Amino acid sequence: MQALTTRSKQVSRKPMSIMEKLFLPAIAKGMAVTFSHIFKKQPTIRYPEQKRPFSPVFRGLHVLNRDEEGRERCTACGLCAVACPAEAITMEAAERLPGEENLYREEKYAAKYEINMLRCIFCGLCEEACPKDAIYLSETFAPANFTRKGFIYGKDALLIPDAKQDPEGYAKAIGLNEPTTASPNN
Amino acid sequence: MALLSIDWLILIEKLILIAIIVFASLGIALYTTFAERKVAAILQDRPGPSRVGPFGLFQPLADGLKLIMKEEIIPNSSSKFLFILGPGLAMTAALMTCAVIPWSSHVEAFGRSIDLQIADINIGILYVFGVVSLGVYGIMIGGWASNNKFSLMAALRGASQAISYELAMGLALIAILMISGSLSLKTIVEQQIGAGHMWNFAYQPLGFLIFFICAMAECNRTPFDLPEAENELNFGYHQEYSSMKLGFYLFAEYVNMIMSSAIMASLYFGGYDIPFFDEKSVAPNIAAILGVAALLTKIVIFIFVFMWIRWTIPRFRYDQLMNLGWKTLIPLALVNMLLTGAFILWQQG
């Protein structure tokens, strides 16, 4: 009969020798092993102080981008919501009024833009679908929250701070403060 | 008038000594729990508790606070008096041992010579044995009073384990008594310090090994922690306990560990003796303090070995435990006793 697996091993059932019955040599060997671990390097990363680097292709929390003049790029076309396999994105469009040209890049903008971070699977399809380069996945991740509602991120959380007016907030949103395996040049 | 002729100062002296020793034992036990977690972590390449205070040094205080603040649950179907008595008994029995341990020679203060031992009774070792056997009542009563089948099973195991290993322990000890000819711990320690005399470990290596294994079994330490075998008995005899009552049980284990380390150091490793150092060359007070430090160092080393073994060896199976106790350790201890007797006869004759 053919064996069910090639990895089976015959268990030795022979009675223990006197040395084995003493247990002591084996115990001494085991204790030497544990003692040697005192001198080994700990692989622990002490989390809030130390962080593991992200890879440059890490797909984290979304940001809504601005253009060079600090205007919102999103035109509320809805392509990201259509592309989203988890149906995490909802938005409401509004028309740009005269005098708001310094706020919004196009004549139409997203008055409401919400992503449910509990639904989101961080696949990055919204990023690929966006014709205006408005939505990006940063190198940060969603912090913990006490309620489900707290995970529905609105425009106030998603919209990236202006790089010129608030460079610190901009760096934080995009994940520049996080350690990364990417070289600083790219 | 006989009552009035008692030296009343000795009562105050002993009360202070008792307070110091009991609180010191509890304090050391507190930090032994911390050391246990730290040693376990280091042996497993982890950093261990490191958040509370510098290097996590306040962790035991946080643990104690947590245990006190937790809800106290007494099961409805338990026998209430015994349920409360159990942890108290375990703790009391653990602490009572420290009465006969000679912590050092004597201190000279206020024109008096104060022995650093609560009671130098001439049957010190018998007293230790009596108290150690009392310790198992804490487990038995706790397990019985919980009215839980797992607790009861654990209590049964604990009792049978303690009884089996006390036998071998006593037999190993008889060999020591044959050498020293005294039951007083102070005399045994002083004999080892005396000139031309080595530590008892040199004469009784096999006896020490048996005693050490039995001490580990008596303290319910891994590899002999069958009364709290988590995988078979959930949590063992203290399964129904919560809050500080559980804390007392866990704590008593550490106090037991310290006390058995102190007794092993006294019986086999010269107690408060500092090796290769003549205590008479310094002032008696300094010698006494150095002696306490020496004994504490030995205790710490023993405790580390206890922990080192715990985090190396898996638990014995119940039949293996009984086989080891009855079929290996007791015959070995008997052989050890015979050899010692023959040696003493040969030396005399």
Chain B contacts of A31, Cβ < 8 Å? 308-309, 312
Quick one: angle between helices B149-180 and B124-145, nearest 10? Answer: 180
Q: Looking at residue B328, what DSSP letter applies?
A: I
Question: Which of A22, A41, A42, A45 to probe the B interface (max B CBs under 10 A)?
Answer: A42
Q: What is the pLDDT of residue A186?
A: 42
* Window B:35-94, CB contacts with A under 8 Å: 42-47, 50
Are B46 and A38 a contacting pair at CB < 8 A? no
Largest CA distance in chain A: 96
Give the phi and the psi of residue A117 in degrees, each rounded to 5.
-70, -15
| Min Cα–Cα distance to chain B from A17, Å | 15
Q: Does A29 touch chain B (CB under 8 A)?
A: no
Tell me what pLDDT residue B4 has. Answer: 61
Identify which of B176, B88, B195, B196 has the alpha carbon closest to the alpha carbon of residue B124.
Answer: B176
Helix or strand or coil: residue B198? coil
Torsion of CA B62, B63, B66, B70, to 10 degrees: -170
* The pLDDT value given to residue B3: 60
Q: Is the minimum CB–CB distance between A37 and chain B shorter than 8 Å?
A: yes
Instruction: Give the separation between CA A80 and CA A142, rounded to whole angstroms.
Output: 19
A94 Cβ contact list (under 8 Å, min separation 6): A76, A108, A109, A110, A111
Q: Kindly provide the ipTM of the predicted complex, given to two decimals.
A: 0.72
B20 part of contact set with chain A, CB < 8 Å: no
Helix and strand totals (H; E) in chain B: 13, 2
Question: CA-to-CA distance for B169 and B164, rounded, in angstroms?
Answer: 9
B45 contacts: CB under 8 Å, gap ≥ 6:
A37, A40, A41, A42, A43, A44
Q: Among A31, A35, A44, whose Cβ lies nearest the Cβ of B47?
A: A44
| Among B313, B316, B323, B332, the residue to mutate for chain A (most A Cβ within 10 A) | B313
Q: How many CB atoms lie within 10 A of CB B298?
A: 21
Nearest to A31 among B46, B47, B312 (CB): B312
Round to the nearest angstrom and report the end-to-end CA distance of chain A. Answer: 61
Q: How many residues are there in chain A?
A: 186
Retrieve residue B93's tokens: 């029995």
Q: What pLDDT was estimated at residue B80?
A: 84
Cross-sheet strand order for the sheet of A108-116: A89-95, A108-116, A152-153
Q: Of B177, B252, B254, B169, whose CA–CA distance to B213 is shortest?
A: B169
**Chain A residues lying within 8 Å of B43, measured CB to CB:** 34-35, 37-38
- Max distance between CA atoms of chain B, in angstroms, equals 68
Collapsing DSSP to helix, strand or coil, B44 comes out as: coil
The span from the CA of A66 to the CA of A163, in Å, is 9
Q: What is the pLDDT of residues B118-160, one digit of tens each?
A: 777 888 888 888 888 888 888 888 888 888 888 888 888 888 8
Segments of chain B with pLDDT less than 70: 1-6
Task: Say how far apart CA A115 and CA A127 lie, in whole Å.
Answer: 13
Cβ atoms of residues B221 and B313 within 8 Å: no
B259 half-sphere exposure, CB direction, 13 A CA radius: 29
Per-residue pLDDT at A89: 92
Cα nearest neighbour of B44 on chain A: A37
pTM for this model (two decimals):
0.78
Whether residue B313 and residue A30 make contact (CB cut-off 8 A), yes or no, is: yes
Q: Which of A 42-71 lie inside 8 A of B, CB atoms?
A: 42-44, 46
A13-27 as b/e: b if 16+ CB within 10 A: eeeeeeeeeebeeee
Amino acid present at B279: E
pLDDT for residue B250 = 85
Contact B308 A43 (CB under 8 A): no
Asked if B164 contacts B320 with a C-beta cutoff of 8 angstroms, the reply is no
- Residues A37, B44: C-beta atoms closer than 8 Å: yes
H or E element in which residue A62 lies: strand A62-64
- Do A27 and B312 make contact, defined as CB atoms within 8 angstroms? yes
Is B343 exposed, middle or buried, given 0-12, 13-18 or 19+ CB atoms closer than 10 A?
Answer: middle
- Token pair for residue A119? 């639904």
Residues of A in contact with B42 (CB under 8 A): 37-38
Give the closest residue to B285 by CA, choosing from B120, B113, B119, B117.
B113
Q: What is the pLDDT of residue A82?
A: 93
Residue A119 class from Cβ within 10 Å (0-12 exposed, 13-18 middle, 19+ buried)? middle
Structure-token pair, residue A68: 């060079």
Averages of pLDDT over each 10 residues, chain A, 186 residues: 82 82 83 89 83 81 86 89 92 88 87 91 91 86 85 87 78 70 51
- A151 contacts A117 by C-beta, under 8 angstroms: yes
The answer to whether the beta carbons of residues B235 and B228 sit under 8 Å apart is: yes
